[in-house]
Amino acid sequence: MTAYEQMAKYEIGLDMGLLTLEELRAFLSAALREKDVPYIYTDVFLSLDKGRDEVVSVIFYNLQGNYIADRKAGNPVQRALIGVIRDKYHAGAIDKEQCVGFLHRLTDYSEGDWNLLTIDEYYKLNKSGYCSDADFEARLGAIFAGGQ
């Protein structure tokens, strides 16, 4: 992923509540140890102590004119966020309901992806007993297979 795609991932992830400032701080701390670091990393790192809203604003400002968001389903940022959701779900950091909520919210940031648009319906069917846990997990697995 490019630096701009990474920052778009964090902008969306922070906005959704999926990613934390601590996760962003860890990423930037590691990235800033490298040579020839993109300016956006430094600028965002310097804003971390100002809170989530300020960090999101700094990322948004830095992306303007530098990055055109790819809103197609399956774009690199969406795949990366699906990977984060998958990893947090499998680690038990988020439950099934939160997982479904995050996946569905991704549709706010990209063009419709049939799997993401329907996952909350499968969840409702699963909760009411009309869809087995195995069928629901298979649907999740299909979505997670597209994550990075």
Residues 37 and 91 in one domain: no
HSE-up of residue 126 (Cα within 13 Å, Cβ side): 18
Q: How many residues does the chain have?
A: 148
Residues 56 and 81 in one domain: no
Q: What angle in degrees, to the nearest 10, is found between the helix axes of 114-128 and 96-105?
A: 150
Residues 19 and 49 in one domain: yes
Range of the domain at 114: 76-144
Nearest Cα neighbor of 101 from 28, 18, 44 is 18
> In the listed set 11, 42, 63, which residue is the last one of a domain according to the structure?
63
Let me know if residue 47 belongs to a domain. yes
Residues 84 and 117 in one domain: yes
Residues 83 and 139 in one domain: yes
Residues 33 and 91 in one domain: no
Let me know if residue 115 belongs to a domain. yes
Burial state string for 60-83 with b = 16 or more CB within 10 A and e = fewer than 16: eebbeeebeeeeebebebbbbbbe
Q: Which helix (H) or strand (E) holds 45?
A: helix 39-47
Residue 3 in contact with residue 55, Cβ under 8 Å?
no
pLDDT per residue of the chain (148 residues) written in tens, 0 to 9: 888 999 999 999 999 999 999 999 999 999 999 888 888 999 999 999 999 999 999 999 988 877 777 777 777 888 899 999 999 999 999 999 999 999 988 888 877 666 777 888 888 888 888 888 888 888 888 888 876 6
Q: Which pLDDT score, from 0 to 100, does residue 148 have?
A: 60
Residues 94 and 118 in one domain: yes
**Count of domains for the chain:** 2
pTM over 0.75: yes
